[in-house]
């Protein structure tokens, strides 16, 4: 899956409800700025300033990009312009341009789970076929219990045939909930310690991975086993800001201040060092990742942090796994003003 609500994917209408909350404000610092693994409350302002050629384009047209010569670029779908009224799909195709797709009012999180796209709105989930992302699919209401907040769904991941996990933000902060196939939801137990980001994903029928912090406010990946009722920290990488799990649940990517790393899930669980997929510049920040179905392609939503803390020059950057390592396959300015989430279609 691609984490539709990874740590940096809190959109503006969600951010506005979190600014008064110290734990979540600290989360934004870790996810969107260059404050390394130590959480603080001085969250910067995200300002999308498209570069030349990246202005919004009408439906059916595209914006230019820079791609690697002779390398096919699979389709990437981004849920962009994240207000409830204007949310919509943008597709980056192998012709090197962006195409505006259908609007998706009310959708606040997205994920790819196998060959199914899961779109989350307040109180409901919609399931679409990956080859037909523009066509509406079946819906499932979420019957959330009294312990689950009735807020904005900022993260979703679904196990076929319908068991989901969601991250929900309200005035009191962030809460994770497991939703059964009949729509009944309950609070995730155990939950990550001091959760500062909404990203969460299934590894298998009982285990999930999420972000967590220790008592020194250092962020790591944590594995929650719902059958055993345990939570275990992974120590192979510290200062994790965002992560993504491939739809086949065999690969995991994570971003820290200096780079992006990818390895099989089995290596992460064994605390074996992941391979470097991308090295980040000192001023570069990454707040959303997506892995393709088989983990062979990586996309990251990235920007450049200015001295005043604002983040601009927003690009979508793609990498492909080759026999000798990872290579960049495209670098495209984005035509949308915000990004809710992203998934690979092929």
Q: 12-121+142-344, which class in CATH?
A: mainly beta
List the beta bridge partners of residue 289.
300
pLDDT at 12 over 70: no
The pLDDT score that the predictor gives to residue 240 is 93
Mean pLDDT of 249-268: 96
**Cβ(265)–Cβ(249) below 8 Å:** yes
Tell me the two tokens of residue 261.
Answer: 């790393």
The pTM for the full model equals 0.81
Distance CA 210, CA 243 (A): 8
Nearest alpha-carbon partner for 273 in 230, 226, 234, 229: 234
> pLDDT for 158-195, tens place per residue?
987 678 999 998 888 888 999 998 889 999 999 988 66
DSSP for 23-69, please give it.
HHHHHHHHHHSS-TTB--S----B-----TT-S---TT-----EE-T
What percentage of the chain has pLDDT greater than the value 90? 53
The pLDDT score that the predictor gives to residue 196 is 64
CA atoms in the 13 A half-sphere facing the CB of 61: 10
**Nearest 10 degrees: Cα torsion 131, 133, 139, 143:** 110
């Amino acid at each position: 899956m691609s984490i539709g609500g990874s740590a940096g994917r809190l959109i503006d209408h969600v951010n506005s409800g979190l600014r008064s909350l110290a734990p979540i404000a600290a989360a934004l610092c870790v996810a969107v700025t260059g404050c390394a693994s130590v959480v603080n409350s001085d969250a910067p302002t995200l300002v999308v300033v498209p570069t030349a050629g990246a202005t919004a384009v009408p439906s059916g047209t595209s914006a230019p990009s820079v791609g690697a010569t002779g390398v096919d670029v699979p389709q990437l779908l981004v849920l962009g312009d994240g207000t409830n009224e204007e949310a919509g799909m943008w597709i980056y195709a192998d012709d090197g341009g962006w195409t505006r797709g259908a609007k998706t009012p009310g959708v606040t999180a997205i994920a790819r789970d196998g060959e199914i796209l899961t779109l989350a709105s307040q109180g409901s989930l919609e399931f679409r076929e990956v080859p037909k992302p523009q066509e509406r699919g079946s819906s499932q209401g979420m019957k959330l219990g009294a312990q689950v907040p009735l807020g904005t769904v900022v993260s979703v991941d679904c196990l076929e045939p319908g068991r989901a996990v969601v991250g929900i933000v309200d005035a009191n902060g962030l809460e994770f909930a497991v939703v059964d196939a009949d729509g009944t939801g309950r609070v995730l137990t155990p939950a990550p310690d001091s959760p500062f980001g909404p990203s969460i994903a299934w590894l298998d029928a009982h285990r999930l991975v999420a972000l967590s912090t220790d008592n020194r406010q250092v962020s790591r990946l944590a594995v929650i086993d719902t059958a055993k009722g345990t939570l275990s920290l992974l120590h192979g990488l510290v200062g994790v800001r965002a992560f993504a799990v491939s739809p086949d649940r065999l690969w995991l990517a994570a971003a820290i201040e200096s780079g992006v790393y990818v390895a099989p899930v089995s290596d992460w669980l064994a605390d074996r060092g992941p391979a470097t997929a991308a090295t980040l510049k000192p001023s570069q920040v990454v707040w959303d990742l997506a892995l393709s179905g088989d983990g062979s392609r990586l996309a990251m939503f990235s920007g450049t942090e200015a001295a005043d803390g604002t983040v601009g020059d927003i690009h979508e950057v793609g990498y492909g796994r080759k026999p000798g390592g990872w290579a960049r396959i495209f670098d495209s300015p984005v035509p949308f003003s915000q990004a809710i989430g992203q998934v690979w279609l092929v």
